[in-house]
Structure 1
Amino acid sequence: MKSLSTKIFLSFFLVIIIFTSLILLFTFKTTREHYIETFAKDLRNLNLTIIKPVKQYLISSDYDSLREYINEHGKNINIRLTVVDSTGFVLADSKSDPMLMENHMSRPEFQKALKGSNDATLRYSTTVHDEMLYVAIPIYVSGDLLGIARVSMFLSDIDALTTRLASDIMNIAAVILVLILIGILFFSRKLSKPLTQLSQASRKVALGDFDIKVFIKGRDEINELAVNFNHMTERLKALFDLVTSQKEEYQTVISSIQEGLIVTDTSGKILLSNTGFHNIVKTNNVLNKTIENIFQDEQVLELFRSVLKKKKPQTNEIRIYESYYICSANYIALKNEIVLLFHDITSIKRLETMKKDLVVNVSHELRTPLTAIKGFVETLEDEANERDKHYIEIIKRHTDRLINIVQDLLNLSELEERQSQVMLSKVDLRVLLENLTKIFEYKLSEKNLKLIIHVDEAFPKIKIDPFKMEQVFVNLIDNAIKYTDAGFVKIKIFQKRDRAIIEISDSGVGIPQEHHPRIFERFYTVDKSRSKKYGGTGLGLSIVKHIVLLHHGEINVENNPDGGTRFVISIPIKLKIKPISS
């Protein structure tokens, strides 16, 4: 790579050479034209001096003396002299035998002379075979043309003078040019030296040496540039130290996180990972690999694609080897990256499993003796007196409640299993509801409640598990009747885009807003005294929620503006069952 001084020198050198060449060419051309004009003037004056004797020879027709005069005079001054008569016939010539020369009347210089012009003519001579400069003057006597006198000289003589002058000029120009180039070389090196220092310093800064300083003498712009460069390196050093410190803190924080953490780009390539993640996947070699290379579980890939598409945080439960994790994914718009955090819930899952197993085992163990107790109570009831029947009725009611709790616990345990079977079939909800209304006819009439069912005429048959969805309707309608003393229970079904919307509302006591977040938890009751009165187990809404989740749906609770409660269920019209995340 050429240095700056070399580039400056070559640039000036090229400009000066071109400029000098143009000046020399112009000077040479101007000088040559000046010489030609000067010699033409001299030839014109010379011609005027020889006209008088030539005129005398022409008047006396002494052509021999004319030739002798022309030859002798031409040799003395080294100029070609020519005399022609009025017809163009050559009478005398100092350089050639006139008898061998052709008629010259058509020559340009003679034509000019006949027209009264004594301007010089520059042309090639066919007689002497060379470039020549001509000046011709007509000779008149009493208005009659006797002849024309012509003087000429070789152009090579003029060119020789011009060449000598040009050579002298070029020698002088060469000396001046050398001196100028030496000055330019010195100037370019002086100019480029501080810039070279700055370049070398910037290269060291690029390699991480922020302690480099540049000192340049002077008070020009280059010195100001050096001062600014030094300020910049100091600022860069401070920023670099800050970034390094923050990076170390960042790495410390990342490493100290117990959960597994990775950062990927939008293609899934892992850009950052911590020790917790390495322990999860049992390898440290994860950087620059894609999550498809690391995970065989399709749920992680689906979560990644979903977050990338929706640009919103999402969470899913996944299994890696024999462990369970809550995987939280978040899209970072500023960097166009995705952060995935893996929280180990294996111990929680084991505890849940143990709890579920305990519930199931206890429920199974309780169901048999409870059934036996109920049978004995019914037997005793037939033989008891009025006082004993009161106590037996209390025992029977609590036994039935325990049996219902046990059955609901078993149902809930089954629904909470990932592998819980959903038997899909196309169902007309109108027919399903018509069959259910018969179950609640007595309870409705007992409280004088009105059951309103409204299904859109265009509502299609949908794919659901009819048995499980029937449980949903039974639980929600039964709750609505229990907690409504007057008014109505309303069921509204319609389609909203690609989802079926089921609304079950009532005009009852309603559910206070503060209870809404926990209403679907197992054993959670809003009013325990009222729940005991109606024999509620506290598991009905939890069962409803799990059935809705099995159908890939959502359920929410709202308060009606005029009082009462409204449960809103949303499930896909075209349902394709996939594994449900907890």
Structure 2
Amino acid sequence: MKGSIFVKIFTSFLFVILLISTSIASFAVKRIKSHYIDTLSSDLKKISYPLSLSIKPLIEQRRFSELDSLVKSIGRETNIRITVIATDGTVLADSKKDPSLMENHGTRPEVIQALSKGYGETIRYSTTMQKKMLYVAIPLKTNGKIIGILRLSLFLSDIEHLLSNLSRDMICMILIITALSLLGAYFLAKGFSDPIRELVSVSNRLALGDFSAKASIQRKDELGKLASSFNEMGERIKKLFERVRLKQEELIAILSSLSEGLIVIDGNGRIELSNRSFDKIVGDSSQGRFYREVLRDSGLIKCVEKAVNEKRTVTKEVELNDKLFLISITPMVSENKFIVVLHDITEFKAIEKIKKDFVINASHELRTPLTAIKGYVETLEDEVQGEAKTYLKIIRKHTERIINIVKDLLTLAEIEEKGLDTSLKDIYLKGFLENVVKIFRPRAEEKGLELKFTAQCNPVIKGDPFKLEQVFVNLIDNAIKYTEKGEVSILLREENGYAVVEVIDTGIGIPKEYIPRIFERFYVVDKSRSRKLGGTGLGLSIVKHVVLLHGGKIEVESEPGKGSKFIVRLPVNS
């Protein structure tokens, strides 16, 4: 109750009312007192002038005894203290005291003012009467010469008594007004706080999930509108919660039906959510446990740690319970959580192996008869003349193309199966590329192309010389093959810890929509042109595999009609 809005409003009203009432009372008393004193001063001043006419002759004639009697007589009738003072401060007559017993009044403020300014007025404590008094003094002049001072005074006790009664009456009035104001403030504060208290109660019920709670405030002011809006908000929240509940149930159903294993790991490494497929993979319930307890494979745990530390998606193939899984760990952008998905690729890998084995076996089986066919065709070409020789050339051309395809298939299968040779060598790229470029100079000159090689540095990399030679042979071969005029340039430079080799041509270029697929097996942009030039559709696939095996990257920039640029980045020896 202490911090309630009712107490705050009521206390504020109380403070304001008391402040205003006190200020008005204080100001009124001061103004009344000031006005009353000003009025008395004016009255005393008016009385002093006619009185001075009776006093001046007695002073001139030095009839001080008669003067004192006159002053005392007038003082009794008017209840005003009258004092006549000589210019040297000697008291000549006084209506209350014996002037002979009174001290010199020359230093009194009102006397000094009357002598210097022609009129004196002051309120001070009287040492003679032992009371606070109001004094008014005027000079008594004859022929322009001051012969004395006439001083009139009144006791302020009468004024203070009057003001005391007035203050008491005002205090009573203020208390009555304050009581009435506070009564009004009470009802006003209550009328304001009760609806708010009801809204707080309803909001607490809503927070606890009671969406049937309604505010029953029937008013036409802003609080009534607030209650109406609050009830409408409650209805909307109810509908939203219902929608969220349905979505959550739908999501749980989807997650449960997924064949892929899925878990969500929180920032502390605890599994916050898991589906049935994941629990089936690990053979136990995993929700609420730490992922290290559940994922007992060291390779899998390292993948999760890498994703957590680097805050990026990590993908890797792992083996769990005699099955192969493609694991993907992805950080959630909005929260410090990670989604781990395990996709069973055992069957896919088995099919892939069957396909690879088939390609390898078929390639090996085709290699011998194709070589024999080529040999017989070459023999027949020497003996046959006329139109038959043309047919033999066509047979030889297509036989060579099939042999090249078989050769590339075997190369690709070998790269995928064996990877890189463990005994990698230091390769000085400048000399290495110069030797590759020399192979193609005669062919470039034959087509009228300028073949240029520029080396800005001589970086050293670790790699397989034979496989890397295949990379640059394929790239330069393609550049010359698809360039009819202009030049083919090879540029070697170093950038951010990578050796960068650019193979640039001024050939036909590649349309933008085909660039993402050019590294796929058997994919060619212009099939008729590729067949005509003897392309197999496997060269760029081999290039990409070799570059990736060396920890590098390959990019393509191309524009139809202007040429292409293949950029190979290989990590430099540190």
TM-score, structure 1 as length reference: 0.69
In structure 2, C-alpha distance between the alignment counterparts of 1:141 and 1:402, rounded to whole Å: 152
Show the 5 A alignment for 1:300-449. 308=312, 316-319=315-318, 321=320, 323-327=323-327, 341-353=341-353, 411-417=411-417, 419-421=419-421, 422-427=424-429, 428-433=431-436, 436=439
Q: How does 1:122-521 map to 2 (within 5 A)?
A: 122-137=123-138, 147-261=148-262, 274-277=275-278, 283-285=286-288, 296=300, 308=312, 316-319=315-318, 321=320, 323-327=323-327, 341-353=341-353, 411-417=411-417, 419-421=419-421, 422-427=424-429, 428-433=431-436, 436=439, 454-458=451-455, 460-461=457-458, 463=461, 464-471=463-470, 492-495=489-492, 498=495, 499-502=500-503, 521=521
- Matching residue's letter, 1:458: A
Following superposition, the deviation at residue 132 of structure 1 comes to: 1.4
Matches of 2:87 and 2:522 in 1, distance apart? Answer: 144
Paired with 1:86 and 1:557, the residues of 2 have a C-alpha distance of 119
The residue type equivalent to 1:414 in the other structure is E
SS in 2 for 1:284: coil
Q: Give the whole-Å Cα distance in 2 for the aligned partners of 1:56 and 1:489.
A: 141
Name stretches of at least 5 consecutive residues in structure 1 with no aligned partner.
Answer: 309-313, 382-398, 578-582
* Cα distance change of structure 1 residues 236 and 42 upon mapping to structure 2, 3 Å threshold: same
The CA deviation at 1:27 is: 1.1
- Runs (5+) with no aligned partner, structure 2: 380-398
Conserved? CA contact 2:304–2:329, under 8 Å: no
Aligned identity (percent) is 34
In the alignment, the residues of structure 2 paired with residue 476 and residue 132 of structure 1 have an alpha-carbon distance, to the nearest angstrom, of: 121
Equivalent pair of 1:326/1:342 in contact (CA under 8 Å): yes
**Count of residue correspondences:** 533
CA contact (8 A) 2:266 2:337 kept: yes
Task: Specify the SS of the correspondent of 1:457.
Answer: strand
Deviates more, 1:209-218 or 1:67-76: 67-76
Residue 26 (1) aligns with residue 27 (2): yes
Deviation, structure 1 residue 325 = 3.6
Amino acid at match of 1:426: Y
Whole-Å Cα distance in 1 between the matches of residues 142 and 402 of structure 2? 164
* Shift, 1:28, TM fit: 0.8
Retained in 1: the 8 A contact 2:273–2:287?
no
Q: 1:317, 1:128 → 2: CA distance?
A: 112
SS in 2 for 1:198: helix
* Alpha-carbon separation, structure 2, partners of 1:557 and 1:64: 133
1:570 Cα deviation from its structure 2 partner: 4.0
Contact 2:270 2:289 in 1 (8 A): no
Taking a change above 3 Å as real, the CA distance of residues 494 and 315 of structure 1, as seen in their structure-2 partners, is farther
Give, in whole Å, the separation in 2 of the partners of 1:474 and 1:142.
140
What is the deviation of 1:416? 0.9
Distance across 1 between alignment mates of 2:354 and 2:254: 35
Question: CA offsets per residue over residues 142-174 of structure 1, 9 Å max, x none?
Answer: 887664443312223322221121112112221
In the alignment, the residues of structure 2 paired with residue 451 and residue 468 of structure 1 have an alpha-carbon distance, to the nearest angstrom, of 29
SS of residue paired to 1:160 = helix
Is contact 2:306-2:314 (8 Å) kept? no
Cα displacement string for residues 289-320 of structure 1 (whole angstroms, at most 9, x for unaligned residues):
9xx99975656676788895xxxxx8844325
| Cα distance in structure 1, aligned partners of 2:350 and 2:83 | 134
Aligned-partner SS, 1:103: coil
| AA of the residue aligned to 1:228 | S
> What SS is found at the alignment partner of 1:493?
strand
The offset of 1:29, in angstroms, is 0.9
Amino acid in structure 2 at the alignment position of 1:455: K
Distance 1:304 1:518 in 2: 34
User: Which TM-score applies when normalising by structure 2?
Assistant: 0.69
- Equivalent position amino acid for 1:249 in 2: E
- 1:156/1:360 Cα in 2 relative to 1: closer, same or farther (>3 Å)? same
Give how far 1:60 is off: 6.3
- Per the alignment, residue 550 of structure 1 pairs with 549
1:12-23 pair list within 5 angstroms: 12-23=13-24
The answer (yes or no) to whether the contact 2:118–2:139 under 8 Å persists in 1 is no
